[in-house]
Structure 1
Amino acid sequence: MAKHETPLLDQLETGPWPSFVTDLKKQAETKPEVYDILGQLELSYEDRITHWKHGGIVGVFGYGGGIVGRYSDMPEKFPGVQHFHTIRVAQPASKYYSSDNLRALMTLWEKHGSGVTNFHGSTGDIILLGTKTENLEPFFWDLTHELGQDLGGSGSNLRTPACCLGSSRCEWSCYDTQEVCYQLTLKYQDEIHRPAFPYKFKFKFSGCPNDCVAAIARSDISVIGTWRDEIRIDQAAVKEYVAGNYPANGGAHSGRDWGKFDLQKEVIDICPTQCMWLEGDELKIDDKECTRCMHCINVMPRALRPGAEQGASILIGAKAPILEGAQMSTLIIPFMKISKDDEYEDLIELIEKVWDWWMEIGKNRERVGETMQRVGLPTFIKVMEIDPIPQMIKEPRSNPYVFWNEEEVPGGFARDIDEFRARHKA
């Protein structure tokens, strides 16, 4: 295939950072169809519109998700990308790979596709960019039979679950994120591969409130590790931090001299709920007021640790639609034990309860957070049979009207109305 003139793309190679343009040019030496990727992209820059057609159903036998159909709207000019499908491959929990596995995966992609990859997509999948329709089944056969890996999710289904490093490497993790992510991925294979939902659905697992997979901003159900007892304090270590014998933030900023660590200024004064103070040289925390922001623990990791009674907070409804803008998920369950011993029974029960409700009343292409927004949070928590808590409230009410259910009013709601009407008639 012929090379294309790409003056606009060439400018991207002149900056200080590595450029995908350089990588694509190198790949095109062994995969000539990549020249047509560059040519079509250059034309898109010139015309300021995409030249990929929208939509197109394509997949492998038995699966409705995992492959994103992509076709050029100029196949005569760019025959190498007339169909150039994206394959999503499920990533291992926490994205742990062996070098042997990566080499085998890349060998497979060089055999059946363009060799162009994206590690990773925003959901988490391994993204393999560009292959022909006739190559899909052979690739899928080799992927599953030779490597023992599977496709991820795409379309109106459960997207591939993702998790942080969890207990494997992080001392703050309050539950085993890898295990629950793996088990739920196995349990919900049908929901991942055969779209049946109103729209996409994601759950992500973060081991602590640092939320390293940004579950609170991106997933329909966020499982974020937390604790419900008191932050553990090593007062001797606190004194060492104050004396300057331990570096703040675990020495993460050791390349620059930030001056002497000031506990009052750098921790206590910027606590969002002002729940910390010093009594003499001892640090005190009013744990009832703590919102688990993790700042104090991150700054003084040798002095402070999460509490010992650990589990997770469950938040529901993150979304980022174009028209209304991004919305973080809402706290629904403040604390839930996350244990393999009970096979994650409570979490699974909640997930499936949300699905049953959403699949019944959710509109087409409406995320569960948008459904919650449409019907209102009070209706949602009532359907979920969950008691409301102050943490669910975004802001104080501004509407002066209060509505009561009849069973909530002592003496009977109807009788009170009758008395009210009688007084006003008089």
Structure 2
Amino acid sequence: ALRGLCDIWEQHGSGLTNMHGSTGDIIFLGTTTDQLEPIFQKLTALGFDLGGSGSDVRTPSCCNGMARCEWACYDTMKLCYQLTQDFQDEIHRPAFPYKFKMKMSGCPNDCVASIARADLSIIGTWKDAIQQDDAEVAKYATGGVDIQRNVVARCPTRCMYWDGKRLEIDNSNCVKCMHCINVMPKALAPGLERGAIVLLGAKAPIVQGAQLSSVLIPFIDMEDQESYDEFKQLLQNIWDLWADEGKNRERVGEFALRVGFGNFLEAIGLEPTPEMVAFPRDNPYVFYKLDGNGKEKE
């Protein structure tokens, strides 16, 4: 297969290729317009799918998920395949102000760094309590792990307590950072009520500075077909709004920041939730809407 690709490109192009590791794409560099159609026909005859690097949906990518990792909270490879098949038109035909990347991580470790690199990040998480094996915790303690220093003291929300014998976790304040699970994988594990959190807007510093993703959907069960269909509709709403109102070479995160996340959420038909708030307002003004009678809405 690789020899066939190289033969085609040496005949119709520059012969230069780029094997893109993060998405698994093979990129052909440099040809002329009159050679495009013969290239398309020969690549299709070889059974290869065609994409591009324009202002379209880039090839979705994911971690190994349940195929290899015990921490995966949803099947990343299944979702990656579904999104790739469902949005073939958006992948092949540039229709947006700029590129749109989707990346999937099975757990909050986020091994594909989607929260920093993807316009749409889908990161595995859980809703219930962390699974805890006290006997294994004791083994870690007697085996030389300083639980107070290396686990409890490094919890970002200080939701853990260690009395020298038993580890207690305030799961209501847990932010699913995975640190304690990474340190003691035999003793702790993600909860049983698993799903994913959907975030929007990460990018590298090109037009504006770098951005990290912001929470869009705090929890969704990607294995549920109805939830998946609602997610696809929400994604379509985002694309429609961005395509109509976005500026040229403006990533969707930059667009949301420019128009304001409140206006953005209202336009795509999504209700705001507390999980979307990074920190309290930094000004004293409270905005509200009036109903038809001129009274404040509750």
Please, what TM-score do these two structures have when normalized by structure 1?
0.64
Deviation at 1:301, TM superposition (A): 1.0
Q: Encode CA deviations 1:180-199: one digit per residue, 9 max, x unaligned.
A: 11111111111111111121
Aligned to 1:296: 180
Q: Which stretch of structure 1 is more off in the superposition, 227-236 or 379-388? A: 379-388
Change (3 A) 1:332 1:150: same
Aligned to 1:364: 248
Structure 2 portions without partners, runs of 5+: none
Aligned to 2:204: 320
Aligned to 1:109: 6
Q: Encode CA deviations 1:160-203: one digit per residue, 9 max, x unaligned.
A: 11111111111111111111111111111111111111211111
Say whether 1:176 aligns with 2:75: yes
Superposed CA RMSD in Å reads 2.4
Change (3 A) 1:266 1:167: same
Identity %: 56
Say whether 1:287 aligns with 2:186: no
Change (3 A) 1:411 1:356: closer
Say whether 1:243 aligns with 2:142: yes
Please, what TM-score do these two structures have when normalized by structure 2?
0.89
Q: Encode CA deviations 1:189-219: one digit per residue, 9 max, x unaligned.
A: 1111111112111111111111111111121
Q: Which has more radius of gyration?
A: 1
One of 90, 94, 102 as aligned partner of 1:203: 102
Q: Distance in 1 between matches of 2:5 and 2:36?
A: 12
Deviation at 1:385, TM superposition (A): 3.3
Contact 1:121 1:127 in 2 (8 A): no
Q: Distance in 1 between matches of 2:241 and 2:37?
A: 36
Residue 298 of structure 1 aligns with an amino acid whose one-letter code is N
Residue 95 of structure 2 aligns with an amino acid whose one-letter code is A
Q: Secondary structure at the match of 2:199?
A: strand
Q: Secondary structure at the match of 2:253?
A: helix
One of 276, 279, 288 as aligned partner of 1:404: 288
Say whether 1:230 aligns with 2:114: no
Contact 1:226 1:310 in 2 (8 A): yes
Change (3 A) 1:269 1:116: same
Q: Distance in 1 between matches of 2:167 and 2:7?
A: 58
One of 106, 123, 127 as aligned partner of 2:27: 127
Structure 1 portions without partners, runs of 5+: 1-103, 245-259, 414-426
Residue 86 of structure 2 aligns with an amino acid whose one-letter code is K
Aligned to 1:378: 262
Q: Distance in 2 between matches of 1:328 and 1:175?
A: 22
Between 1 and 2, higher relative CO (CA 8 Å, sep ≥ 6) is seen in 2
Deviation at 1:407, TM superposition (A): 3.5
Deviation at 1:121, TM superposition (A): 5.5
Contact 2:55 2:94 in 1 (8 A): yes
Aligned to 2:117: 218
Change (3 A) 1:145 1:344: farther
Q: Secondary structure at the match of 2:129?
A: coil
Contact 2:237 2:268 in 1 (8 A): yes
Aligned to 1:266: 150
Contact 2:22 2:61 in 1 (8 A): no
